[in-house]
Amino acid sequence: MADNEISQFPHSAQPASQSPKLHIYRILYLLNQGVDSVAAALGSLAKFRLPEREYLRFAQNWLEELRAGVNAEIIERLSERERCDEGRFWKLRRTYEKRWRDPDDVYIDVERREKERLKQGLAPRIGLIREFAKKWPTGRVVRGKTGNKGIAKE
Protein backbone atom coordinates (compact mmCIF):
# COMPACT_ATOMS: atom_id res chain seq x y z
CA MET A 1 0.00 0.00 0.00
CA ALA A 2 1.48 3.34 -1.00
CA ASP A 3 1.80 6.24 1.41
CA ASN A 4 -1.07 8.15 -0.23
CA GLU A 5 -3.39 5.11 -0.07
CA ILE A 6 -3.61 5.28 3.72
CA SER A 7 -5.63 8.49 3.44
CA GLN A 8 -8.30 6.53 1.55
CA PHE A 9 -9.27 4.50 4.64
CA PRO A 10 -12.94 5.20 5.47
CA HIS A 11 -12.21 6.46 8.99
CA SER A 12 -9.49 8.91 8.02
CA ALA A 13 -11.84 11.69 6.90
CA GLN A 14 -10.56 13.79 9.81
CA PRO A 15 -7.21 15.43 8.92
CA ALA A 16 -4.17 14.22 10.90
CA SER A 17 -3.62 17.79 12.15
CA GLN A 18 -6.88 17.51 14.10
CA SER A 19 -6.17 14.04 15.48
CA PRO A 20 -2.71 13.43 16.97
CA LYS A 21 -3.63 9.83 17.71
CA LEU A 22 -4.52 9.21 14.08
CA HIS A 23 -1.17 10.67 13.05
CA ILE A 24 0.69 8.38 15.50
CA TYR A 25 -1.21 5.29 14.31
CA ARG A 26 -0.49 6.27 10.70
CA ILE A 27 3.24 6.60 11.36
CA LEU A 28 3.27 3.29 13.25
CA TYR A 29 1.55 1.66 10.28
CA LEU A 30 4.12 3.12 7.89
CA LEU A 31 6.97 2.01 10.16
CA ASN A 32 5.68 -1.56 10.18
CA GLN A 33 5.14 -1.48 6.44
CA GLY A 34 8.76 -0.37 5.97
CA VAL A 35 10.06 -3.05 8.33
CA ASP A 36 8.11 -5.64 6.32
CA SER A 37 9.85 -4.44 3.16
CA VAL A 38 13.31 -4.58 4.73
CA ALA A 39 12.65 -8.01 6.28
CA ALA A 40 11.44 -9.31 2.90
CA ALA A 41 14.56 -7.94 1.19
CA LEU A 42 16.81 -9.58 3.79
CA GLY A 43 14.91 -12.85 3.33
CA SER A 44 15.32 -12.66 -0.44
CA LEU A 45 19.07 -12.08 -0.11
CA ALA A 46 19.36 -14.97 2.36
CA LYS A 47 17.97 -17.36 -0.30
CA PHE A 48 21.15 -16.90 -2.35
CA ARG A 49 24.16 -18.97 -1.44
CA LEU A 50 26.15 -16.03 -0.14
CA PRO A 51 28.74 -16.29 2.64
CA GLU A 52 26.68 -13.67 4.56
CA ARG A 53 23.55 -15.84 4.43
CA GLU A 54 23.57 -16.67 8.16
CA TYR A 55 24.23 -13.02 9.02
CA LEU A 56 21.30 -11.93 6.85
CA ARG A 57 18.97 -14.27 8.77
CA PHE A 58 20.40 -12.92 12.03
CA ALA A 59 19.78 -9.36 10.81
CA GLN A 60 16.22 -10.27 9.82
CA ASN A 61 15.51 -11.67 13.29
CA TRP A 62 17.12 -8.66 14.95
CA LEU A 63 14.98 -6.35 12.82
CA GLU A 64 11.83 -8.20 13.93
CA GLU A 65 12.95 -7.91 17.56
CA LEU A 66 13.43 -4.15 17.14
CA ARG A 67 10.03 -3.83 15.49
CA ALA A 68 8.33 -5.75 18.28
CA GLY A 69 10.03 -3.58 20.92
CA VAL A 70 9.09 -0.30 19.23
CA ASN A 71 5.51 -1.48 18.66
CA ALA A 72 5.19 -2.64 22.27
CA GLU A 73 6.45 0.67 23.71
CA ILE A 74 4.29 2.84 21.49
CA ILE A 75 1.18 0.69 21.85
CA GLU A 76 1.58 0.56 25.63
CA ARG A 77 1.61 4.36 25.81
CA LEU A 78 -1.26 4.63 23.34
CA SER A 79 -3.21 2.06 25.33
CA GLU A 80 -2.94 4.18 28.48
CA ARG A 81 -4.11 7.20 26.52
CA GLU A 82 -6.98 5.25 24.93
CA ARG A 83 -8.17 4.02 28.35
CA CYS A 84 -8.19 7.60 29.66
CA ASP A 85 -10.13 8.75 26.61
CA GLU A 86 -12.52 5.82 26.98
CA GLY A 87 -13.27 6.83 30.57
CA ARG A 88 -13.70 10.48 29.67
CA PHE A 89 -16.08 9.73 26.80
CA TRP A 90 -17.98 7.19 28.93
CA LYS A 91 -18.61 9.91 31.52
CA LEU A 92 -19.83 12.27 28.81
CA ARG A 93 -22.15 9.60 27.40
CA ARG A 94 -23.53 8.84 30.88
CA THR A 95 -24.19 12.57 31.41
CA TYR A 96 -26.25 12.70 28.21
CA GLU A 97 -28.07 9.47 29.04
CA LYS A 98 -28.98 10.71 32.52
CA ARG A 99 -30.25 13.99 31.07
CA TRP A 100 -32.48 12.19 28.56
CA ARG A 101 -33.63 9.33 30.78
CA ASP A 102 -37.09 9.40 32.28
CA PRO A 103 -36.80 8.94 36.07
CA ASP A 104 -39.71 6.51 35.97
CA ASP A 105 -37.78 4.20 33.62
CA VAL A 106 -36.33 2.62 36.75
CA TYR A 107 -39.65 0.81 37.21
CA ILE A 108 -39.38 -0.67 33.73
CA ASP A 109 -35.87 -1.87 34.61
CA VAL A 110 -37.15 -3.45 37.84
CA GLU A 111 -39.94 -5.22 35.99
CA ARG A 112 -37.48 -6.51 33.38
CA ARG A 113 -35.11 -7.74 36.10
CA GLU A 114 -37.92 -9.49 37.96
CA LYS A 115 -38.80 -11.41 34.79
CA GLU A 116 -35.16 -12.43 34.41
CA ARG A 117 -35.07 -13.63 38.03
CA LEU A 118 -38.22 -15.70 37.51
CA LYS A 119 -36.68 -17.35 34.42
CA GLN A 120 -33.61 -18.19 36.52
CA GLY A 121 -35.79 -19.74 39.20
CA LEU A 122 -34.94 -17.04 41.74
CA ALA A 123 -37.39 -15.54 44.20
CA PRO A 124 -38.85 -12.16 43.27
CA ARG A 125 -37.43 -9.14 45.06
CA ILE A 126 -40.31 -6.81 44.29
CA GLY A 127 -42.10 -8.25 47.33
CA LEU A 128 -39.49 -6.61 49.53
CA ILE A 129 -40.40 -3.24 48.07
CA ARG A 130 -44.11 -3.88 48.60
CA GLU A 131 -43.51 -4.89 52.25
CA PHE A 132 -41.50 -1.72 52.80
CA ALA A 133 -44.27 0.39 51.22
CA LYS A 134 -46.87 -1.14 53.58
CA LYS A 135 -44.87 0.06 56.59
CA TRP A 136 -44.26 3.54 55.14
CA PRO A 137 -46.93 6.09 56.08
CA THR A 138 -48.90 7.35 53.15
CA GLY A 139 -50.00 10.89 52.75
CA ARG A 140 -48.79 14.22 51.64
CA VAL A 141 -46.23 16.47 53.27
CA VAL A 142 -47.77 19.52 55.01
CA ARG A 143 -46.43 22.33 57.17
CA GLY A 144 -47.89 22.86 60.59
CA LYS A 145 -48.36 26.17 62.37
CA THR A 146 -44.76 26.05 63.62
CA GLY A 147 -43.43 25.48 60.09
CA ASN A 148 -42.42 21.88 60.80
CA LYS A 149 -43.02 19.33 58.09
CA GLY A 150 -45.35 16.47 58.85
CA ILE A 151 -47.36 13.78 57.14
CA ALA A 152 -51.06 14.32 56.74
CA LYS A 153 -52.88 11.00 56.85
CA GLU A 154 -55.41 10.59 54.09
How many domains does the chain divide into? 2
**What pLDDT is stored for residue 100 in this prediction?**
87
pLDDT digits (tens, 9 = 90+) for 44-88: 998 888 888 889 989 999 999 999 999 999 999 999 999 999 999
User: 78 with 137, same domain?
Assistant: no
Which residue range forms the structural domain that includes residue 12?
3-100
Backbone φ and ψ for 138, nearest 5 degrees, come out as: -95, 160
pLDDT band at 7 (very low <50, low <70, confident <90, very high): very low
Residues 76 and 115 in one domain: no
Could you report the per-residue pLDDT of 112-151, keeping only the tens digit for each? 998 999 899 988 887 656 666 666 666 554 455 555 544 4
Q: Count Cβ atoms below 10 Å from residue 133 Cβ, excluding itself.
A: 9
> Looking at the structure, do residues 79 and 118 belong to the same domain, yes or no?
no
